[in-house]
A and B are shown apart, each in its own frame.
Chain A
Amino acid sequence: MNIHEYQAKQLLKQHGVAVPSGEPCKTVAEAKAAAEKIFAAGHTLAVIKSQIHAGGRGKGTFKHGFKGGVKLAKSVDEAVNFAENMLGQTLVTVQTGPEGRVVQTILVAAAEKILKEFYLAVLLDRANSRPLIMASTEGGVDIEEVAAHTPEKIIKEWVDPAVGIQPFQARKIASGLGLKGDAFNGAVKLIMGVYKTWWESDASMVEINPLAVVETPSGKEAIICVDAKIGLDDNALYRHADIQAMRDLAEESPLEIEASKYALNYIKLDGSIACLVNGAGLAMSTMDIIQHFGGMPANFLDVGGGASKDQVSAAFKIILSDPNVKAIFVNIFGGIMDCNVIATGIVEAVRETGLKLPLVVRLEGNNVAAGKATLAASGLTIISGDTMADAAKKVVAAVAA
């Protein structure tokens, strides 16, 4: 699960991490009040940030023509103007696709005077199954570029999960970033807090980019998280009611939400051949084999190892509500699952939905003969494929026809 920047900063703050003072606002009136507070506290700039689950906000454009999903305001009036142009409007960025996302919330925060930017992240290192803290002096830029071209500029520190992060590790990182004095001490506390946020929230990733040394209104140096991104481990949400409450359904695809109600794993893609498959690996391979024979998959859909008739029926309705779909490819390897149950589910779903599109079915495994007989006896025009390759060729041909 992903959460908004303002929610990520709330979690960080709970773990003692310094973030700029600010508030999430859902109305222009709230934004005005938040901006007034910031200017009253002596700040000379406020930043107004659109809250959507996609990157590239600063360079994005709203559908009504307003440019920039992140803006700096020099006055309360300016902040109000930006809030009016963002709230309720649709922001299009490189990551949202052309349809964009409606901005429901903006973060109004103090814009500190940034002296130097850094990068900080905590993630799982899959190679050794340990938490990894990554930091770099190259902040505010694409870290993948840094990793590819100047890997020596990335500091890595692994944490022993038996004892947790030790202060010396945070000191090593702060020193590696070239920090001194107040900024050094602040960074040590901040790094410890960012790590604890990752561990205690069951995050999959905490990314602070940029982390910044700033000059506070009183002229002192401080280190704070200017931007923050947190991804969470879905499997651990059951033990974090507070984080579950942060889920924003408006940021998720309606079809994916519908699929999750039936315990179906569905991801919408851009192609024209819908897939219905059991098992994640087979579902991915089904997409791959469609592309191999010249087609484009419309979705990833794993109905799981023990799919029921209801799930098959729900799956059909979901894939058919994608207007790009021109044909359907059902690929089932029924190991334990009874192929005849699946076949019955397919026949019912086709009748219920009045399916007009070409349907190619490849069934293999347990009780496959009965399953194939059920399909044949249905009187429906179902194209049968013997192997995955045979079925994939047939479905690609059906779309091309």
Chain B
Amino acid sequence: MSILVTPQTRLLVQGITGAFGARHAQLSIDYGTQVVAGVTPGKGGQIFEHRGVKVPIFDTVAEAVRETKATASAVFVPPPFAADAILEGVDAHLDLVVAITEGIPVIDMIKVKRAMQGSTTRLIGPNCPGIVTPGEGKDSHGGCRIGIAPGYIHKRGNIGVVSRSGTLTYEAVFQLTSRGVGQSTCVGIGGDPVNGTSHLDVVQMFMADPDTHGIIMIGEIGGSAEEEAAEWIKAHGTKPVAGFIAGATAPPGRRMGHAGAIVSGGKGTAQAKFDAFRAAGIGVAATPSEMADTLLKMM
């Protein structure tokens, strides 16, 4: 098993005809993911073709869901239109919407989160690398890859990875795979201050997943999501968790690349997050080079 998605998950791509969306739709098809539909308003009826796989394009998500039974979506729509695209997926009752788009205005996301109250759709992101549930094939081929992560670095296995950062997720996955240890699912929750799914949400899913035996949780400065997850783990955790927080050396008041990575008003420091990890019995990697080893020593 895995969390959120399986190799059978039927994926639609919103913004499949844009350069970015098209490139990653192709890579997902190459990885063996079930890309069943594309959505680009005004291009309904066209076909997105890649290596013999023909993906029908629809004008609306509702139509794509009706015709193809897609249950998950990857959003590659430019920032000014991304909130609308996310809510279109919610309206179509998708199980999962993964928003890759970077640069969505905060107020748009505040509205999206409010509008999603009571909905059954789960939003991952925005500004995230997406989700990978590795497959059984060579270089983990045959898995479900939603987003922009490099599929080939993964390996099917039993470690869950959750992170706000893309490249730092790849770093952790690569360390695990290089040591012969595979992953159940890897989730990038994104670097924005308002996101759909938190560290805590993903940690709870991993704790409930019988095929996840250990968790790597990667955070960064800003907000208090890592502390919340640590507190829950302290009270309810049943599996080993190791982690790292990026940004100990970041100057206060500056946004470090990610819109959400900022220490403001003395809040959201790396120190406070590391302290919360230690208090919860989470293994703290002294450097990002030791994320996998720190977890494996605990298992």
Q: Which of A's residues lie within 8 Å of B, judged by CB?
A: 124, 126-127, 129-131, 143-144, 147-148, 160-162, 199, 202, 204-205, 233-236, 238-239, 265, 267, 269, 277-285, 287-292, 297, 300, 302, 305, 333, 335-336, 364-366, 387-390, 392
Judge whether B250 and A284 touch: CB under 8 Å: yes
Judge whether B261 and A130 touch: CB under 8 Å: no
* Bound-complex Cα distance A279 to B79 (A): 19
Tell me, rounded to whole Å, the shortest Cβ–Cβ distance linking B183 to chain A.
15
Taking a contact as CB atoms closer than 8 A, the residue among A204, A284, A336, A392 that contacts B148 in the complex is A336
Whose C-beta in chain B lies nearest to the C-beta of A388? B289
Judge whether B287 and A281 touch: CB under 8 Å: no
Tell me, rounded to whole Å, the shortest Cβ–Cβ distance linking A149 to chain B.
12
Given A126-B194, A335-B150, A365-B170: A147 touches B165 (CB 8 Å cut-off): no
Given A126-B194, A283-B257, A292-B287: A233 touches B105 (CB 8 Å cut-off): yes
* Bound-complex Cα distance A321 to B254 (A): 21
Whose C-beta in chain B lies nearest to the C-beta of A278? B167
Please list the 9 inter-chain residue pairs (A to B) with the smallest Cβ-Cβ separation, ordered nearest first.
A281-B165, A280-B257, A279-B167, A335-B150, A236-B105, A281-B168, A389-B289, A282-B167, A284-B246
Q: What A residues does B289 contact at CB under 8 A?
A: 289, 387-390
Judge whether B194 and A285 touch: CB under 8 Å: no
Judge whether A124 and B193 touch: CB under 8 Å: yes
Taking a contact as CB atoms closer than 8 A, the residue among A143, A205, A281 that contacts B218 in the complex is A281
Whose C-beta in chain A lies nearest to the C-beta of B103? A235
Judge whether B170 and A280 touch: CB under 8 Å: no
* Bound-complex Cα distance A170 to B161 (A): 44
Taking a contact as CB atoms closer than 8 A, the residue among B106, B152, B224, B254 that contacts A124 in the complex is B106
Given A202-B106, A280-B261, A336-B150: A305 touches B247 (CB 8 Å cut-off): no
Interface 1/0 per residue, B222-253 and A, CB below 8 Å: 11110010000000000000001011111100
* Bound-complex Cα distance A387 to B175 (A): 10
Q: Which of B's residues lie within 8 Å of A, judged by CB?
A: 27, 79-80, 103-111, 113-115, 148-150, 152-153, 163-171, 174, 191, 193-194, 218, 220-225, 228, 244, 246-251, 254, 256-261, 264-266, 270, 286-290
Q: What B residues does A305 contact at CB under 8 A?
A: 148, 166-167
Judge whether B286 and A292 touch: CB under 8 Å: yes
Tell me, rounded to whole Å, the shortest Cβ–Cβ distance linking A30 to chain B.
32
* Bound-complex Cα distance A5 to B141 (A): 56
Judge whether A129 and B220 touch: CB under 8 Å: no
Given A281-B165, A333-B174, A335-B170: A238 touches B80 (CB 8 Å cut-off): yes
* Bound-complex Cα distance A205 to B103 (A): 18
* Bound-complex Cα distance A284 to B287 (A): 12
Whose C-beta in chain A lies nearest to the C-beta of B104? A235
Q: What B residues does A234 contact at CB under 8 A?
A: 259
* Bound-complex Cα distance A76 to B214 (A): 72
Judge whether B107 and A287 touch: CB under 8 Å: no
Taking a contact as CB atoms closer than 8 A, the residue among A144, A199, A281, A387 that contacts B166 in the complex is A281
Taking a contact as CB atoms closer than 8 A, the residue among A127, A288, A335 that contacts B249 in the complex is A288
Tell me, rounded to whole Å, the shortest Cβ–Cβ distance linking B74 to chain A.
15
> By CB atoms of chain A within 10 A, which of B108, B169, B228, B249 has the most?
B249
Tell me, rounded to whole Å, the shortest Cβ–Cβ distance linking A162 to chain B.
5
Judge whether A127 and B166 touch: CB under 8 Å: no
Judge whether B165 and A279 touch: CB under 8 Å: yes
Tell me, rounded to whole Å, the shortest Cβ–Cβ distance linking B270 to chain A.
8
Interface CB pairs A-B, < 8 A, 5:
A148-B266, A281-B164, A287-B249, A291-B249, A366-B150
* Bound-complex Cα distance A333 to B165 (A): 13
Judge whether A131 and B110 touch: CB under 8 Å: yes
Tell me, rounded to whole Å, the shortest Cβ–Cβ distance linking B124 to chain A.
15
Q: What B residues does A267 contact at CB under 8 A?
A: 251, 254, 256
Given A333-B167, A335-B150: A162 touches B114 (CB 8 Å cut-off): yes
Judge whether A129 and B194 touch: CB under 8 Å: yes
Judge whether B288 and A161 touch: CB under 8 Å: no
Tell me, rounded to whole Å, the shortest Cβ–Cβ distance linking B244 to chain A.
7
Q: What A residues does B169 contact at CB under 8 A?
A: 281
Judge whether A365 and B191 touch: CB under 8 Å: no
* Bound-complex Cα distance A292 to B288 (A): 11
Taking a contact as CB atoms closer than 8 A, the residue among A199, A300, A388 that contacts B287 in the complex is A388
Given A280-B257, A289-B289, A389-B290: A333 touches B106 (CB 8 Å cut-off): no
* Bound-complex Cα distance A131 to B193 (A): 12
Judge whether A160 and B114 touch: CB under 8 Å: yes
A-B contact sample (11 more), CB < 8 A, given A199-B107, A281-B164: A233-B259, A236-B106, A280-B257, A281-B257, A284-B261, A285-B244, A285-B287, A335-B153, A365-B153, A366-B152, A390-B289
Judge whether B168 and A233 touch: CB under 8 Å: no
* Bound-complex Cα distance A148 to B153 (A): 45
Tell me, rounded to whole Å, the shortest Cβ–Cβ distance linking B285 to chain A.
10
Q: What B residues does A131 contact at CB under 8 A?
A: 110
Q: What A residues does B110 contact at CB under 8 A?
A: 124, 129-131, 161
Tell me, rounded to whole Å, the shortest Cβ–Cβ distance linking B197 to chain A.
12
Judge whether A284 and B106 touch: CB under 8 Å: no
Whose C-beta in chain B lies nearest to the C-beta of A237? B105
Whose C-beta in chain A lies nearest to the C-beta of B250? A284
Q: What A residues does B286 contact at CB under 8 A?
A: 292
Q: What A residues does B174 contact at CB under 8 A?
A: 333, 364-365
* Bound-complex Cα distance A115 to B88 (A): 52
